Amino acid sequence: MVTVSTIQNNQANYAVSSSSLSAQAKSSIEQSFQTPKKKKHRQDGDNHSLSYYKNDIHKDELVQKNTLAKRIGINIEKTLDIPLIHFPRGLGGAPDYTFFEFLQTAKFPYYIGGPILAALFYAGAKKDNFRSAGAAQKVAKHMALGVGLYYLGAAVAKSIINNTVKISRGVDLKQPYAHYISKSSKKSGAFQKDVEFHTAFESADFTRTDLLYKEEGKTPEEINERYIEYGKKYGIKDDANNIDSTIKPLIKKTIVMARAWQYALTAFFVTLGVGMANQPAWDKASSEGFKKTVKEGIFGKGVNVKDRLHNAKVVVYDYMLKPFGQSFAEFWKGHGKGSSIAGKSVILASAAATLTAITLLLTKTSAKGHKLETTGNNNIKEVQR
């Protein structure tokens, strides 16, 4: 069926059986029946700064130009919200507390649990004589590194998938949107926010595909501009009117597959990270030397620019990249039969899993592997060729 969905229709396109996004659904439903109070802001929406999204929007809007700076800004905002808004609201038992807020608070134990465990280990070590103090410090260093590389591993796993999807399908899984919370729905006054930042593809069930239309477009080509771009990457040549509904199920499939692999790769990469943190390569570079070089060599007083640059290079290369590379080699090699097998298998398994993930994402989400049939009911059935 040839349809060009309007934004209005899509905003109404929410089932309330949602377990995770019903707050959004509710607010967007409310919104959809309200007339905009202000005139449209988005005349050249491509260059809005973050503060625009925080202060000036009155409905959900996609954050245009998903730059690193904007993402950092959003993440700072989101992180600060955890102690300043979500925890107070949660402890108070706000009636409109959302699942999103709960998930945000869940990041707190995730990020402090590891470091506290490492700190507890260090606290238990004998430090009253030089030898044991040295040994304790070494263990603590490896643990701290382990915690750091654990989070790094998780980040790498995510980024591999995100980039694969972005390059191959044009879908930016990290695409943020600003979720406007209507004043009328604010029951609990203080601590409530006007805007929450989410990502458009965070849910496979309730993907914010509605935000992907170009609202001010006049022609289907203009309105469906983004879908047409996706279409090229997915390998679909379809009518401009039709393409959005053709692509939506594929996007859903992409999200599910990408998320599954993100989680799976995380398991491999955190193991790799902790394994590498546990190698002797890191013992050579002392943490004291590192601190000193950073503090006095780069940020110290009376150091000329050339030396600062040199010290920065030392910090990055000698204290980070070199031991990083060496630790990888040592992990591969191992120190005995068991650790050699473990190291090799973790590295090989990580590589194999990454390859599998990329291959599957490239082949299975492409429209080329499917014959698409449109049936009544706006329901696209997938038929294997």
CB nearer another protein, residue 170 or residue 297: 170
Min. distance of Cβ 305 from another protein in angstroms? Answer: 42
CB nearer another protein, residue 135 or residue 298: 135
Does the footprint of another protein cover residue 127 (CB under 8 A)?
A: yes
Does the footprint of another protein cover residue 19 (CB under 8 A)?
A: yes
Does the footprint of another protein cover residue 23 (CB under 8 A)?
A: yes
CB nearer another protein, residue 111 or residue 317: 111
Does the footprint of another protein cover residue 189 (CB under 8 A)?
A: yes
Does the footprint of another protein cover residue 14 (CB under 8 A)?
A: yes
List 66, 182, 203, 366, residue binding another protein (CB under 8 A): 203
3-11, 35-43, 228-236, 304-312 -> range binding another protein (CB under 8 A) = 3-11
- C-alpha dist (Å) from residue 250 to 10, 18, 237, 254, 359: 17, 21, 14, 6, 16
CB nearer another protein, residue 296 or residue 382: 382
Binders of another protein among 306-345, rule CB under 8 A?
334-336, 338-339, 341-343
71-79, 112-120, 165-173, 320-328 -> range binding another protein (CB under 8 A) = 112-120
Binders of another protein among 272-301, rule CB under 8 A?
274-275, 278
Total residues contacting another protein by CB under 8 A comes to: 104
List 64, 164, 266, 293, residue binding another protein (CB under 8 A): 266
7-15, 51-59, 171-179, 321-329 -> range binding another protein (CB under 8 A) = 7-15
List 64, 254, 293, 327, residue binding another protein (CB under 8 A): 254
CB nearer another protein, residue 263 or residue 299: 263
Residue among 165, 120, 118 nearest 141 (CA): 118
34-42, 294-302, 306-314, 372-380 -> range binding another protein (CB under 8 A) = 372-380
